C-alpha cells in the first residue's frame, strides 16, 4: 500500500539525519541539491558582511542625517528664539506705542474737554451779550418810538405852520394882485416878504438907498433902493416885489452890479422873490444866474 504524503514527511524527518550521517552518497546528493537552492557558508558570510557594511553605512548616513537634523533643529530653535525675541521686542515696542497713543489720546481728550468748556463759557457769554443786546435794542426801539412820536407831533406842528404859511402866502398873493390894482402898496408887500426872510433865517433884510451919480441903473443919476442881507460874511442882494417882469429883473440886475461896484466885492447870491414872475423874466433870470422864488419860504438855506 503506498505511503501517504504525511507519512513520507514523517519518515524523512526522522530517518534523513541518520542516512546523511551514515550514507555518504545520500549526503553528497543532498548537499549538491542544497547548494543549488541555498548559498554556501562563504557566500553567506560575504552577504552578511556586505549587509553589515550596508547597515553600518546606513547607520552613518542616519547619524549624519540625525546630526544634520539636530543642527537644523538647533538652527530652527535659534531662529525661533530670535523670532520670539524679535516678537517680544516688537510687542514691547507696540505696547509702548499703544501706551503713548493712549496717553496722547487722553491728553487730546482733556484738551478737547477744556476747549469745549471754554466754548461753552464763550457761548454763554455770547448768549448773555445777545440778551444784553436785545435789551439794548428794545430800549433803543422804545426810544425810537418815543422819538418817532415826538417827530410825528413835530410834523403835525410843522404841517400846522406850513398851513399857516400857505394861508399867509395866499394872503400875500392876493395882496400882490391887489397891489397891482392899487389895493395894497408895494412897500407893504416888500415888508411882508422881508419879515418872512428874517424870521426863517434869523437874518436882517436891510433896505439900502444909494446915489447913482453915473446913471448906471436908470441911465441918469438917481437914487437906487436895494435890499441886502449880510450874514456870516455872506453878501446876498434881494429883489422883493409883488410881480416881476423882464424889465424889472434887468433893473434888479443893474442894481446888483451897482451895489457890487459900490462895495468893491461880488455878491454871493442874487435873489428875486415874487409870487408873480413873468415867463420871460424867469428865462432871463436863469441866464443871469439869479435865483427866483415864488415866496420867501421857498428860499434855500442862507
Residue 26: strand, helix, or coil: helix
The 10s digit of each residue's pLDDT in 265-290 is 999 989 888 888 899 999 999 999 99
Domain assignment present for residue 190? The answer is: yes
Instruction: Give me the phi and psi of 237, to 5 degrees please.
Output: -100, 130
Domain assignment present for residue 34? The answer is: no
Domain assignment present for residue 49? The answer is: no
Strands (DSSP E) along the chain, which ranges?
205-212, 222-231, 234-240, 269-273, 291-293
The 10s digit of each residue's pLDDT in 2-42 is 567 787 777 777 777 877 788 888 878 877 777 666 656 66
DSSP 8-state secondary structure symbol assigned to residue 296: G
pLDDT higher for 13 or 68?
A: 68
User: Domain tally for the chain?
Assistant: 1
Domain assignment present for residue 235? The answer is: yes
- Residues of 51-72 as b/e, b for ≥16 C-beta within 10 angstroms? eeeeeeeeeeeeeeeeeeeeee
Residue 194: the pLDDT is 67
Domain assignment present for residue 230? The answer is: yes
- The position carrying cell 441866464 is 287
Which residues have C-beta within 8 Å of that of residue 197, sequence separation ≥ 6? 203, 205, 229, 238, 273, 296, 299
Q: What is the CATH number of the domain that holds 292?
A: 3.40.1350.10
Residue 254: strand, helix, or coil: helix
Domain assignment present for residue 142? The answer is: no
Strand partners, 294: none
Mean pLDDT of 133-155: 85
Q: Which of 236, 275, 264 is CA-nearest to residue 252?
A: 236
Domain assignment present for residue 56? The answer is: no
Task: Report DSSP letters for 45-62, one per residue.
Answer: HHHHHHHHHHHHHHHHHH
Task: Report DSSP letters for 99-127, one per residue.
Answer: HHHHHHHHHHHHHHHHHHHHHHHHHHHHH
pTM to 2 decimal places? 0.41
Q: Is there a contact between 213 and 221 (Cβ–Cβ < 8 Å)? A: yes
Residue 196: the pLDDT is 64
The 10s digit of each residue's pLDDT in 214-269 is 999 999 999 999 988 877 888 889 888 888 899 999 999 999 999 999 999 999 98
Residue 87: the pLDDT is 84
Range of the domain at 194: 186-298
Mean pLDDT, the chain, rounded, equals 80
Q: Is there a contact between 251 and 283 (Cβ–Cβ < 8 Å)? A: no
Task: Indicate if the pLDDT at residue 91 is higher than 80.
Answer: yes
The 10s digit of each residue's pLDDT in 158-199 is 766 765 665 555 555 544 554 444 434 566 566 666 666 666
Kindly tell me the sign of the dihedral angle through the C-alpha atoms of 97, 100, 104, 109: positive
Domain assignment present for residue 59? The answer is: no
Amino acid at each position: 500500500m503506498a505511503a501517504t504524503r504525511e507519512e513520507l514527511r514523517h519518515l524523512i524527518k526522522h530517518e534523513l539525519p541518520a542516512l546523511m550521517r551514515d550514507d555518504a552518497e545520500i549526503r553528497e546528493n543532498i548537499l549538491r541539491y542544497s547548494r543549488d537552492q541555498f548559498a554556501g557558508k562563504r557566500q553567506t558570510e560575504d552577504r552578511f558582511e556586505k549587509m553589515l557594511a550596508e547597515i553600518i553605512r546606513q547607520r552613518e548616513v542616519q547619524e549624519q542625517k540625525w546630526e544634520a537634523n539636530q543642527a537644523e533643529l538647533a538652527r530652527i530653535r535659534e531662529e525661533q528664539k530670535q523670532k520670539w525675541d524679535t516678537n517680544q521686542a516688537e510687542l514691547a515696542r507696540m505696547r509702548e506705542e499703544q501706551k503713548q497713543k493712549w496717553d496722547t489720546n487722553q491728553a487730546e481728550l482733556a484738551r478737547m474737554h477744556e476747549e469745549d468748556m471754554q466754548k461753552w463759557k464763550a457761548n454763554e457769554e455770547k448768549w448773555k451779550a445777545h440778551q444784553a443786546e436785545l435789551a439794548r435794542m428794545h430800549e433803543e426801539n422804545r426810544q425810537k418810538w418815543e422819538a418817532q412820536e415826538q417827530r410825528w407831533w413835530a410834523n403835525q406842528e410843522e404841517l400846522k405852520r406850513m398851513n399857516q404859511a400857505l394861508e399867509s402866502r395866499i394872503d400875500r398873493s392876493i395882496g400882490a394882485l391887489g397891489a397891482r390894482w392899487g389895493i395894497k402898496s408895494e412897500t407893504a408887500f416888500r415888508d411882508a416878504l422881508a419879515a418872512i426872510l428874517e424870521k426863517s433865517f434869523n437874518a436882517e433884510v436891510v433896505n439900502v438907498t444909494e446915489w447913482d451919480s453915473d446913471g448906471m441903473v436908470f441911465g441918469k443919476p438917481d437914487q437906487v433902493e436895494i435890499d441886502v442881507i449880510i450874514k456870516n460874511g455872506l453878501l446876498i442882494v434881494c429883489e422883493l416885489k409883488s410881480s416881476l417882469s423882464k424889465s424889472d429883473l434887468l433893473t434888479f440886475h443893474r442894481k446888483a452890479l451897482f451895489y457890487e461896484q459900490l462895495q468893491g466885492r461880488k455878491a454871493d447870491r442874487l435873489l428875486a422873490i415874487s409870487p408873480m414872475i413873468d415867463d420871460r423874466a424867469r428865462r432871463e433870470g436863469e441866464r443871469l444866474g439869479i435865483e427866483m422864488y415864488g415866496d420867501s419860504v421857498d428860499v434855500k438855506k442862507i
